[in-house]
Structure 1
Amino acid sequence: MAAAAHIRLAAADEVPRLADIELAAAALFPDTDLPALLRLVSTPEPVLAAAQREARLWVAERDGELAGFALASRNGECAYLDEMDVHPDHGRRGIGRALVGAVQGWARAGGSHSLNLTTFAHLPWNAPFYASLGFRQLRDDELCPLLADALAAQRAAGLRQRVAMRQVL
């Protein structure tokens, strides 16, 4: 039986390997949701390196290899799950749930009142997954400026059926 994933803060030397996880996860999305060009784009390494130095980047390690990661940020009393990816080879084993749990713990410990994210509304491993963890889809009139801007930028990049979600901590 395979070991459960171990969730921990990322080490600096692991940052360059996270793009491979993100791109492998992006390959799961239908072309209608994630345009082909966006399948080739990952979070810039300097962004991940800064998050690693600031202790807001977690990795999931399973069977001696990196299986996923989560990137978070904070603005005032709100925390944000900016990116979360699990390599398809390690999917459906609770790794995403464990990564979100690490971010929730970080957000609570830092005094955040909520954890926010944007995701696809209709894909089972997106909004329905987050709803199972206690996140609620936000109406347009509930969006803070950061979430409204994020959704607008995602739509401008060609992403469709995107929604913002929040969990009160």
Structure 2
Amino acid sequence: MAAPRIRLAAADDLPRLPDIELAAAALFPEGDLPALLRLVSTPEAALAAAQREGRLWVAEHGGEVAGFALASRKGACGYLDEMDVHPDHGRRGIGRALVGTVQGWARAGGLRTLSLTTFAHLPWNAPFYASMGFRRLEDSELCPLLSEALAAQRAAGLRQRVAMRQTL
């Protein structure tokens, strides 16, 4: 099996990304991801801005775009805002390769930490990120940005969300 090819997203990749995001969302139990949220994807303008700013990557596998990762930064802190792999391409190391690319971006950019929010109990969420060096944060360790993100996610109906961070 060929390894995925990770590269910066091009503008012509953008139309494929919502399909990947929605297909990945369908894997979540409805108790974790309410039905309405299964129909929502990252706004096109946000993807386009990330693409222009060099903080959106795609994974190619089997000749097609199979996943993507979106990151951002605030000061010396990086954030993995989104990472999705189409279920047709799952369990092939694509998610691991995408996260590794974002980790490399953060290190190369001189960032001190890389943080994210995820589900605590799903094996392809918090346990996956822990295997890549992320640590679950206690409420007392949350920066305002992560605290606000978790509060907004909970208000939207997402349950069992946690923040994780990796020191780079």
Matched, 1:43 2:42: yes
The residue identity in structure 2 corresponding to 1:164 is A
The alpha carbon displacement at 1:146 in A equals 0.4
Write the deviation string for residues 76-105 of structure 1: whole angstroms up to 9, x where unpaired: 000000000000000011100000010001
Distance in 2 (alpha carbons) for counterparts of 1:132 and 1:17: 28
Moved over 4 A (4+): none
Match of 2:152 in 1: 153
Match of 1:120 in 2: 119
Distance in 1 (alpha carbons) for counterparts of 2:119 and 2:94: 19
Q: Give TM-score scaled by structure 2 length.
A: 0.99
Q: How does 1:134-153 map to 2 (within 5 A)?
A: 134-153=133-152
Match of 1:163 in 2: 162
Distance in 2 (alpha carbons) for counterparts of 1:8 and 1:122: 30
Aligned Cα root-mean-square deviation (Å): 0.5
The alpha carbon displacement at 1:3 in A equals 2.1
Match of 2:132 in 1: 133
Write the deviation string for residues 3-37 of structure 1: whole angstroms up to 9, x where unpaired: 22100000001111100000000000000000000
**Runs of 5+ consecutive residues of structure 1 not aligned to the other structure:** none
The residue identity in structure 1 corresponding to 2:51 is Q
**Runs of 5+ consecutive residues of structure 2 not aligned to the other structure:** none
Match of 2:76 in 1: 77
Match of 2:61 in 1: 62
Distance in 2 (alpha carbons) for counterparts of 1:33 and 1:62: 28
Match of 1:6 in 2: 5
Match of 1:20 in 2: 19
The alpha carbon displacement at 1:131 in A equals 0.3
Where 1:118 maps in the other structure, the secondary structure is: strand
Where 2:166 maps in the other structure, the secondary structure is: strand
The alpha carbon displacement at 1:111 in A equals 0.7
Distance in 2 (alpha carbons) for counterparts of 1:107 and 1:95: 19
Q: Give TM-score scaled by structure 1 length.
A: 0.98
Distance in 2 (alpha carbons) for counterparts of 1:86 and 1:17: 12
Write the deviation string for residues 25-78 of structure 1: whole angstroms up to 9, x where unpaired: 000000000000000000001000000000000000011101100000000000
Where 1:46 maps in the other structure, the secondary structure is: helix
